[in-house]
A = this chain, B = another copy of it.
Amino acid sequence: MPGGRGHRWRWRGCSRRMVRFLDPALLLLLHRGRAHGYTLLEQLAEFGLENLNPSVIYRALRDMEDRGWVTSTWDEEQTQGPPRRVYSITAAGDDALAQWVQDLEETRDLINYFMAAYEQHMEEGEGEHH
């Protein structure tokens, strides 16, 4: 079953683990430089986050602003559209990003442990379960 092993719970769009990537990815992008939501939406593809509904990004940014990780101001420059809100990362955001990185490291270690356990079991049992 491609994309959904099962019937009851097909993840629409990206998988949940992917979405958990959203906050750290946004923080990293903003650490590279201030940007507005629509741009971030496109840049997120770099981290495998494609086809996200814009509202997801805007909500994430607003939530991060509530937590003090980013700040926003209205863009002065003239654009081909309505005024844009420009986000910048804060010092607290830097800390949060560093925390996320640590957290992701732990997750990676856990995955590595899991994989090792899986492969070892597969070798021993020749792929058969008892």
Are A94 and B28 neighbours in the complex by a CB distance under 8 Å?
A: no
Whether B115 contacts A5 by the Cβ 8 Å rule is no
Q: How many copies does the complex hold?
A: 2
CB < 8 Å neighbour of A6 from B47, B67, B121: B67
Residue with the highest number of chain B CB atoms closer than 10 Å, among A5, A7, A96: A5
CB distance from A28 to the nearest CB of B (A): 6
**How would you classify the secondary structure of chain A's contact residues: helix, strand, loop or mixed?**
helix
Chain A residues at the B interface, C-beta cutoff of 8 Å: 5-9, 15-18, 20-21, 23-25, 28, 30-33, 46-48, 62-63, 66-67, 89, 94-97, 99, 101, 103-105, 107-108, 110-115, 117-118, 121, 129-130
